[in-house]
Every structure is written in structure tokens, then in C-alpha cells.
Amino acid sequence: MKFYRAPLIGLVPTLAIVVLALCFPVQAYDYKVEKILSPAPVFSQNGIVASAHPIASQVGIQILKDGGNAFDAAVAVALTLNAVDMSMCGPGGASFWLLWDQKAGKLHSLDADTQAPAAATPDKFKDRAELLSGVKAMGIPGNMLAYVEVLEKFGTMSFEEVSKPAIKYLEEGFVLAKRQSDGFKYSAAQAPLQYPNLARVFAPDGHWPDEGAVIKNPELAQTFKTVAKEGVDAFYKGSIAKEMVDYVQKNGGLWTMEDLANYKLNWNEPVTMDYKGLTVYGAPPPSSATTWMEMLKIAEGYDWSKIEDNSLEYLHLMVEIARVAHADTYQYVSDPAFVPSKSDKLVSEAYAKVQRQRISLDKAAKGKVQPGDPDAWTKPGFKLSQAPENLESVQIAMADSVRDMTYRGNTNHVVVTDKWGNCVTFTHTLGQFFGGQDVLGNTGVIGNNGMDWFDLDLNPWTEKPSSLVVAPNKRNRWTLSPGMIFKEGKPYILVGGSGAEMTMSAIFQVLIRMLEYKLNPQAAIASPRFLYGDVYHYTAGTRLHVEPELRAFLEKGMVAKGHDVVPGDQVWRMPTGFVWAIELDKESGTFAGGAEVRDEGHAAAY
């Protein structure tokens, strides 16, 4: 038998190509080079956790390393944030969740909103001050039940296991950062004097501690241990519930044992829309995800390839889109058990097409933009003959306007992915810094101020009866607005944010940078942003704050277009919301994550 040597002339290049392909796989991410100073995104194939505190993100990663899934990690991160970012969230607050179960191939939406006590009616409150802080401002909390139920439905670990890191920091303490200390002193300066039980736990010297102080809350650690041993009923029906209710009632609040015992989570269907071939999901009302979703739907009708990022045209159009969407959703986003949801119409193309007709590319709309009519405007053949007439802006002194724009919010967002493809995006809150600004008895639980997100009579934007008037057992509107975007049926982007009314426009701005300008998640988050209006809904403010990186060369042009821009010599840099995001690449099975640079945001991976 003879053997012949095969010719290698054609084979060698082929082998070389194969070797190169193995060594240098096809690029998974096709990001454009950012033109701003930004940290690099975090990449991983096993899992990413992005949160508002580095300790919490590291805890989440450790849970993943120990074999837990994204749901285990998400709850562990939430509980740890209760310890190390305690002014921002806690078991006494509210949350909204989107959870992708890869094995079941299903997206779940969870509403763990605070709920007005059964005795809560407008006449029980003298004015907005009683909605803002103190025990009367506290809604019935959903967070503790959410933490437990997410684990029971989707997790692989017990509450006892995932609460261990939080208990460690609650008992041994964590080191207070400058951002936290400054925030307490600026946004909750009088709280230790007004609420002695809060001071007993966090400010025993009668004033907020400085950066570098070690902060503990062993009473909350004991509450977590009790829930781990006795179950969540201890918090809603048992010894913890009794301690909280006794304290609230002793100090003039409205809670009863029945309020806590009757509290239920709402598992519901997310709001859904398309965006250029992608499927966008957001938590339904009373979450405010509908707001940024409507903004995105309106934006879909413009050719962003002809609009330069960070240009005058970009900033003007983005602001005007945000204005009409905010007016709509403040009018229509409420507890669907009391006010029928119109979210499907608000995020429809038919409605967006009409809304685009209200936006001028040359001039800013005057005054307070009024909501549209989603019922009428989505009917077949509708033509807009006359848009709602805007109301005159309230003219207030510059000092008052700046004061009204001060951020007192206390919320944070978490995004998590794991190696199995599970995804979680959720936002949890207490309301303002330290919520209702009181600790409930000896439980270590900080009460929320969810009641502050109700109105007592009128909608400040329309000056007509509000859909958000407080009522017994009604869930308040929050600006919590987690979202997921799917590509070809799989999670593509996880996103969410914090910062009161800043939240939704901040998410919108980040998504436009990712989807239209092809920036990586971290660069999209770091890019300069704006805030239209005041931080809180009830001021009905119409001023525009632009971060200095844009204001320096766009302020004159924006003023010429009719925008009421806050000058830099009055406020150099105001908060413009806080955002966290993860992008998933289906082909490579890898993730890219980003965290807020305006905060102590931290994205971790392994």
C-alpha cells in the first residue's frame, strides 16, 4: 500500500484561520468609544452584581461563588444594604421587582409596595408635613415579605443563610462613608432631635456621626434572626408586629395589627412594549416604569443617527420628551385597584405618534405641560386638532426653587445575573432619608414615609383632583421603576435607578445612550444628564438643571429655546438620578455591568 502526502498549500491558511478564530473569538460587544471620562464596565461570564454599596455587591458575588443563584444573591444584597446603606432601604419599606427565571423561561413582576393603613383618610392629616415624617407618614411595609417570598419561590438558600452577611455588619458594624454622613447632616439634619428613638440607634450623641464612624444596629440583626427562626409571620402577625404597632400607636400613628396581618404581595404582569425590534418590560403601576417607557416609545420615532449625542438638539428633544411623559404618568399611574391602569395605551405607538406632534424641535413648551388623553388619542383615525393648554408655572424665588430641588430621597437599585441565566432587577426604598425618620420600638426597623407619595386633594400639575389622593388600603405611587429589555426572547438589558422624580428620566437617558449611541453600560451611566422639574412631585416645578459638563456650552442655546435653566452660579451640580445596568450578550454568554458614578455605586463580578 502506498501513502501519499496531501498538499498543504490550501490547508495551511485554513488551519491558521481556525486557530485565530479559537484564539480571538468574534467580538461580543460593539461599543462606540465614549467621549466622556468614565470607568470601564465590569465583564463576566459567571455573574455580576451592581448595587449602591461595594460591601453589598461583594456579598452578592460571594453568594454566587457559594453556589447560590441570582435570586439568593439579590436578597442577600438587599439585606446587606439594610445594614450598610440603612438610610436608603430596609424591611420597613417598599420594593418593585422583575425576576427572570431561566429554567421556567418566565418573567415575573412583584409589587411589594407600601399600603395606606385602613384608617388613613385625607382628614387624618393636617398638611403635607404629616405625610413627610413621623409614624403617621408610614405605610404598611412590603419589603420583609418580598425578601422571604422571592427566596421561597426562586432561591436555593434559606433566609437564615442569606441574612448572615447582613447580620454580621449589623452586629459588628460598618464604616460610614463621607457621602452617607454628609447626606444625613444635609437632608435629615433635625431627625435626631425630633425622633429620639432614631437617635438612640444611629446618633447616640444627639447628632449624626462623621465619616469613619462604625455604625451598628444589633436590634435589626435580632429581627432578622427572629424571622429566620419563626418565619415571616413574626414580622406581620407575631412579636415583631406587636412591637412595631405598639410603638406607632403610642406615638400617634395609624397602624393596627390587622393592617400588617392583611398585607399581601401582588404578583402581576409587567407593562410591555416594543422598541425597534426589542421587547421592553417594566414594573406595572403603582411603579413608575411606565414613565420612562413612554419616553422611550416617543423617542423611537426620531432618527437619532442624525442627532449628535450631547448636542443642543439632543438635550432639547430629550427634555421635551421627558416633560410630556411625566405629565401623563403623574396623572394616570396610581394603584390599579383604585384607578384603572392606562399603561398599555401610554406606551403604545398610536399614543406616541400623537405625543410627538406636541413636541417642537425649536421651542420649549411653556409652563406646566398637561397630560394627554390616552383613551381618545389611541382610537383609530384620531387626529390631534388641539393639544391640552399648558398651565402657567408657579413663579417662586430662586432660593425656594433651589431648596425644592434638594434631594432627600433614600432609595437604591440592584441588578444581578448568574451563570445559569437568571436575572433580577429591583428597587427598594424607605422614601426620604431614613424614611419616616423613626425606628419602630426595639426592632431596629426604620419606618418608611410612603404616605408622602400620596396627595391630599389636587394634582399639583393639573390643579384638578388627583388620582393619588390617600385612601384606606391604597398603595402609593412610587418612582421605583425597574426594567428589562429582551432581544430575541432573552434578557438583553437589566436597568433601574433611584432618586425620586429624577429616576425615570435618568433611566431614559441611560437607555438612549446604550441603544442609540451604542455606549457600554458604564459609559452610558457616566454620561452627563439633566433633571427637569424638582426632585419631588408636589412642587410642580418646571426648572431645568443640566449637569455642568453640558451646561457650560449649552446653557445659552437652551435658554434661547425657552428652557428655564438653573444657572451654575446658583447650583453647580444637582443630582440627576442614579442608575445601574447590566447588558447580556446571548452569543458569548457574557455580561457587561455598570454602576452609578454619582454615588458609591459598585459593580462586582467573578
Confidence at residue 390, expressed as pLDDT on a 0 to 100 scale = 82
Cα–chain center distance at 477: 13
Helix crossing, 312-332 with 289-299: angle to 10°?
Answer: 140
* CATH number assigned to the domain comprising residue 466: 3.60.20.40
DSSP E strands, 375-501:
409-418, 423-432, 483-487, 490-498
Task: Kindly state whether residue 559 falls inside one of the protein's structural domains.
Answer: yes
Confidence at residue 21, expressed as pLDDT on a 0 to 100 scale = 42
Task: Kindly state whether residue 414 falls inside one of the protein's structural domains.
Answer: yes
Confidence at residue 452, expressed as pLDDT on a 0 to 100 scale = 92
Task: Kindly state whether residue 126 falls inside one of the protein's structural domains.
Answer: yes
Confidence at residue 169, expressed as pLDDT on a 0 to 100 scale = 98
Quote the CA–CA distance of 441 and 255 in Å, as a whole number. 14
Task: Kindly state whether residue 340 falls inside one of the protein's structural domains.
Answer: no
Task: Kindly state whether residue 327 falls inside one of the protein's structural domains.
Answer: no
Quote the CA–CA distance of 36 and 219 in Å, as a whole number. 45
547-594 per-position pLDDT tens digit:
999 999 999 999 999 999 999 888 878 888 999 999 999 889 999 999
- CB count, 10 Å around CB of 323? 23
Task: Kindly state whether residue 496 falls inside one of the protein's structural domains.
Answer: yes
510-535 per-position pLDDT tens digit:
999 999 999 999 999 999 999 988 66
Q: Domain total for the chain?
A: 1
CB under 8 Å to 264, separation ≥6 — which residues? Answer: none
CB under 8 Å to 67, separation ≥6 — which residues? Answer: 156
Task: Kindly state whether residue 277 falls inside one of the protein's structural domains.
Answer: no
% of residues, the chain, pLDDT over 90? 79
CA angle 535, 538, 542 (to 5 degrees): 60
Phi, psi of 388 (to 5 degrees): -55, 140
* pTM of the shown model: 0.93
The answer to whether the CB of 373 falls within 8 A of the CB of 385 is no
Task: Kindly state whether residue 292 falls inside one of the protein's structural domains.
Answer: no
Confidence at residue 2, expressed as pLDDT on a 0 to 100 scale = 37
The sign one gets for the Cα dihedral 81, 83, 84, 87 is positive
Confidence at residue 37, expressed as pLDDT on a 0 to 100 scale = 81
Structural domain of 465: 42-173+216-269+402-605
Confidence at residue 548, expressed as pLDDT on a 0 to 100 scale = 93
Confidence at residue 503, expressed as pLDDT on a 0 to 100 scale = 93
Confidence at residue 18, expressed as pLDDT on a 0 to 100 scale = 41
Rg value, the chain, Cα = 25
The answer to whether the CB of 112 falls within 8 A of the CB of 145 is yes
Confidence at residue 462, expressed as pLDDT on a 0 to 100 scale = 87
Confidence at residue 473, expressed as pLDDT on a 0 to 100 scale = 98
DSSP states of 223-239: HHHHHHHH-THHHHTSH
Low-confidence ranges of the chain (pLDDT < 70): 1-27, 394-410, 534-540
